[in-house]
């Protein structure tokens, strides 16, 4: 069996993205392209406040859409959908309210999720878009 090697944590001045962050970035880029293909205009990617981050902020048909992107390699240890919990949704909603206030948005809005499962080679096994996940 090929076990991963542990590297001693130290600052060598080089910035390397952990696999977790790399998978997340791949997922966000895939979700962005997918949504653009469905006619969404991406307004922000990785919108951050001191409270949390919204992966994508988009607009379609005059509606503001906050998108949570969840990406996993394989589904042996659960699905991306399993990782969306009440605490995460609370953070997204809090950031969405701040965004609406900051941008003085007067129209309607919703929260969507894009859940992506990647194969070991990072090809897409499944991409599912869920609209209006918060009632």
Domains delineated in the chain: 19-130 (3.40.1350.10)
> First and final CA of the chain: distance in angstroms?
47
Q: Phi-psi region for residue 70, left (φ > 0), alpha (ψ -120 to 50) or beta?
A: beta
Percentage of the chain modeled with pLDDT above 90: 73
The per-residue pLDDT for range 51-104, each reduced to its tens digit, is 788 999 999 999 999 999 999 999 989 999 999 999 999 999 999 999 999 999
Average pLDDT value for the chain? 87
How many Å apart are CA 39 and CA 129, to the nearest integer? 13
Q: What is the pTM of this model?
A: 0.83
Residue 61, Cβ neighbours under 10 Å: how many? 9
Q: What CA–CA distances, in Å, run from 112 to 23, 51, 59, 63, 132?
A: 19, 19, 12, 12, 5
């Amino acid at each position: 069996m090929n076990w991963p090697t542990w590297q001693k944590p130290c600052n060598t001045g080089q910035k390397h993205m952990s696999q977790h962050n790399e998978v997340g970035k791949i997922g966000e880029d895939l979700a962005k392209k997918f949504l653009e293909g469905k006619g969404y205009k991406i307004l922000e990617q990785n919108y951050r406040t001191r409270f949390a981050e919204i992966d994508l902020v988009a607009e379609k048909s005059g509606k503001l859409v906050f998108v949570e992107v969840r990406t996993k390699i394989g589904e042996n240890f659960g699905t991306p959908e399993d990782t969306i919990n009440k605490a995460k949704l609370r953070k997204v909603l809090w950031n969405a309210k701040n965004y609406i206030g900051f941008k003085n948005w007067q129209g309607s809005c919703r929260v969507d999720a894009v859940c992506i499962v990647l194969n070991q080679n990072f090809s897409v096994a499944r991409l599912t878009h869920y609209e209006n996940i918060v009632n």
